[in-house]
Amino acid sequence: MLLVRRFLVLLALIFWQGGFMFYGAVTLPIVRELFGSEGSFVTQRVTMWINLAGTIAILIMFIDLYASPLPAKRWRWVVWLAMFVPQPILVWMHHEMSAQMLGHSFRPNIDAFMLYWHKPYIYLSSLQWLAGMIFVWQSLRAWRAEDRTAPAA
C-alpha cells in the first residue's frame, strides 16, 4: 500500500505540475502565436482542467501526508498548505475571469482585466507551482527517511 500511495502522489504531481509547466512553456506561446487574443478562450478551458488536476493532486497529497509517520512530515505539511490555500482562490478567480470574458465589458477593459485578475492569477499559480516543486523534494527526503527507519520486511 505504501508504494501505491507514493506512486499516486508522484503521478498526481507529474500530471498537475508537469501539465502546468508544459502549458506555460509550450502551449501558451503557440496558442498566442496562432490565435492572438482569441487564444484566451482556449487557455481559459485548459486552465479549468489544470485547476481540477490541482484539486485532485492536493487531495492525494493530503492522504499521503496523513498516512506518513509524524517526524518525516512536518515541513511537508507547511509546503502542502502553500499549495492548498491558493487553490480555492485560484478556482474562484478562474470562475470570475471566465464570467468577465463572456461579458460584453471584456474587450474594452483588457488592460484592467490583465492588471487586476490575470497577473495575480499567474503569480499565485507560479507560487503554487514552486510549492509543488518543494513538496516533491521534501517528499523524496521524507520517504527516504521513512524507508531507513522502517523495520525490515
Enclosing H/E stretch for 66: helix 40-67
pLDDT for 146 equals: 84
Strands (E), 14-90: none
How would you classify residue 13: left for phi > 0, otherwise alpha for psi between -120 and 50, otherwise beta? alpha
Dihedral angle over CA of 28, 32, 34, 39, nearest 10: 90
Contact 68, 42 (CB under 8 A): no
Hunting for cell 499516486 — which residue is that?
8
CA atoms of 71 and 113, how far apart (whole Å): 45
* DSSP summary character for residue 153: -
Give pLDDT, residue 49.
94
Instruction: Please give the backbone phi and psi of residue 69, each rounded to the nearest 5 degrees, phi first.
Output: -65, 150
DSSP state of 103: S
Domain positions in the chain:
2-149
* pLDDT tens digits in sequence order for the chain, 153 residues long: 889 999 999 999 999 999 999 998 999 899 989 988 778 888 888 999 999 999 999 999 999 999 887 766 788 999 999 999 999 999 999 998 888 877 755 555 777 777 788 889 999 999 999 999 999 999 998 888 888 887 765
Longest pairwise C-alpha distance within the chain: 66
Per residue in 136-152, is it b (16+ CB within 10 Å) or e — as a string? Answer: bebbeebbeebeeeeee
Positive or negative CA dihedral for 28, 32, 34, 36? positive
The total of other beta-carbon atoms located within 10 Å of residue 63's CB is 12
User: How far is it, in rounded angstroms, from Cα 135 to Cα 13?
Assistant: 9
